[in-house]
Amino acid sequence: MLTYSNAKINIGLNIVEKRKDGFHNLETIFFPIAMRDAIEIADSKGNADYTFSASGIPIDIDASENIVVKAYELIRAKYNFPAQDIHLHKSIPFGAGLGGGSANAAYMIKLLNQKFNLGMTESEMEGWVSQLGSDCAFFIKNKPAFAFEKGDKLCSIDLDLSGFHILLIKPDIHISTAEAYANIKPNKPEKSLQQLIQEPIENWKTTIKNDFEDSIFPKYPLLAEIKKELYEQGAIYAAMSGSGSSLFGIFKNDPQILPQWEEHFCWENRL
């Protein structure tokens, strides 16, 4: 059985405050996009609990550390279904702020629920997958949402961007979560993103921002340059997604990929 797990972008990201447990409270908009990985499972003929193989973008960690396998083992420990051969084809780049791994985990759980008729509700699946990452639960419903606290609390929003185009660019820059938070200065905004996102998209350029850009752009000026070029090419709104390093622009028309972008990972589609 085969499924496709999609990526997301963050539209705005405010670091509101540092928590007593060392994490940060934030607010952001999660919006699903059509960039996809593929996950396939089949009944195993061997004696192992699972087999794991991968293709596409190389994965440089042990299978047992892959979040797809962690999701599989989490659910199998509860429901004890037959062992599976797992194959993951990666197209969503790593370290991009696109939630590719989180989506893999959520879609593995949805796939197992479907194949073995486990009867888990969306709420139950959100509970399971939240054990693996703060943004994983978003991909169970996979609809636009306002995320708050650690990014694990979700509130559905009405945000229709159909008809717009998206161009996403990811240079070969890896930004760790620790690095992204190192120079961040929490600040509670005057108006919540939940309110700002309802304004016309033409207003977003001046009202909606990603706080990580303030700490990351000075260290990686190429990212700031790409954002500037996206606006010069006619983007209505452009920003970094999550803690980077991908940037995206939202356009009314099909955007042109500039020659200097071709050395980077580029992806274009309709929203």
Among residues 97, 128, 156, which one ends one of the domains?
156
pTM (two decimals):
0.96
Among 156, 174, 194, residue at a domain's last position: 156
Q: Is 58 annotated as a binding residue?
A: no
Query: 133: annotated binding-site residue?
Result: no
127 a known binding residue? no
Looking at the structure, do residues 218 and 169 belong to the same domain, yes or no? yes
pLDDT along the chain (271 residues), means of 10: 99 94 92 99 96 96 96 98 98 95 99 99 98 96 96 95 98 88 87 95 97 95 98 98 96 95 97 96
Same domain for 69 and 169, yes or no, is no
From the candidates 37, 70, 110, 135, give the one annotated as an active-site residue: 135
Of 133, 156, 179, the one marking the end of a domain is 156
Task: Check which CATH number belongs to the domain holding 21 and give it.
Answer: 3.30.230.10
Residues of the domain holding 115? 2-156
- Per the annotation, the verdict on 135 as an active-site residue is yes
The pLDDT value recorded for residue 25 is: 93
Please check if 119 is assigned to a binding site: no
Residue 188's pLDDT is: 86
Answer yes or no: do 253 and 174 share one domain: yes
Count: domains in the chain? 2
Same domain, 48 and 181: no
Q: Which pLDDT value is given to residue 15?
A: 96
Query: In the prediction, which pLDDT does 182 show?
Result: 83
- Residue 152 annotated among the catalytic residues of the structure: no
What is the structure's pLDDT at 59?
94
Is residue 6 within 8 A of residue 30, CB to CB? The reply is no
Return the pLDDT at 117.
98
Q: Give pLDDT, residue 210.
A: 97
pLDDT at 10: 98
pLDDT at 147: 97
